[in-house]
Amino acid sequence: MRYFLDISYRGTAFHGWQIQPNAHTVQEEINRALSTILQQDITCLGSGRTDTGVHALQQVAHFDAELSDSLEQLQYRLNGLLPPEVSIKAIRPVNPEAHARFDAVRRTYHYHLHQQKDPFKTGTSYFFSRNLEVAPIREAIALFKSWKNFQAFSKVHTDVNHFDCDIYEISWQETNDGHLFSVSANRFLRGMIRAMVGTLLEVGQGRLSQSELENILASGERSRAGRAVPPEGLFLTEVKYPESIYLDI
């Protein structure tokens, strides 16, 4: 039987989602907890990677097992075994061929910035105190929405077949003490969102014009785009799937 896990985690303590040698990862913790409880070797597969320090309000992973406990009991036992920074919010049965990565139709990320020093935001928001003009930023994200190839915002030497992404929704909002960038798409490239935000900060400070931004996008050269902002402001907030894959709908 195949199941989807809805997972949330604070990424500060982890070297990202995906298992890697000599590093503490979220996937490793969940595999260990599942294997301990179910008394068998379990490997879960996530909807995608998140980098070191990046958080998730909703990450999704699938695993295969025959369960003797109810889903509620398994959720309770997992949460008791996992570290405080990781929470299982739901476990749902899915079709046997359902895949957490390949069946996702939309992913949404938020990036948080605060502009006044706040010790309670440390680790979950990027402190950026310089003034920003929002109007040119919003003009820039309109260009992003109409664009397709985002190679200029991808980490170099990444293993992908193409750099095309369909952006469904994108916004830049002013908050009480800073800014919130939100973007939804069918897929994202490695490092893409942090590079997008870093480039938008250049636009908002008047260091990059709209025509220069369009030239950067057309060039596909990562070195011409803005720096990658720190990971602590970035949250994977939602991963959506066709309702037909769930067995309990």
Unique residue bearing structure tokens 């919010």:
89
pLDDT of residue 206 exceeding 80, the answer is yes
- Alpha-carbon distance values, 40 to 63, 64, 120, 203, 220 (Å): 12, 11, 40, 52, 46
Q: How confident is the model at residue 249 (pLDDT cuts 50, 70, 90)?
A: low
State the chain's mean pLDDT as an integer.
96
Q: Which tens digit of pLDDT belongs to each residue from 102-149? A: 999 999 999 999 999 999 999 999 999 999 999 999 999 999 999 999
Alpha carbon distance 10, 123 (integer Å) = 9
pLDDT above 90 for 248: no
Length of the chain: 249
Residue in 51, 69, 159, 248 annotated catalytic = 51
CA distance 166 to 49: 18
CA distance 163 to 151: 5
- pLDDT of 57 > 70? The answer is yes
Q: Which of 120, 101, 104, 100 is nearest to 112 (CA)?
A: 120
Residue 191 to residue 48: CA distance in whole angstroms: 12
Which single residue is written with the structure tokens 């992003």?
Answer: 144
Residues 6+ apart with CB under 8 A from 186: 105, 106, 107, 165, 166, 168
What whole-number distance in Å separates Cα of residue 2 and Cα of residue 201? Answer: 43
Collapsed DSSP state (helix, strand, coil) of residue 53: coil
Look up 51 and say whether it is catalytic. yes
Q: What is the DSSP string of 165-213?
A: --EEEEEEEE-SSEEEEEEEES---TTHHHHHHHHHHHHHTTSS-HHHH
Cα separation, 219 vs 74, whole angstroms: 50
Model pLDDT, residue 18:
96
Position of tokens 């870093």?
Answer: 198
Q: Judge contact between 145 and 167, C-beta under 8 A.
A: yes
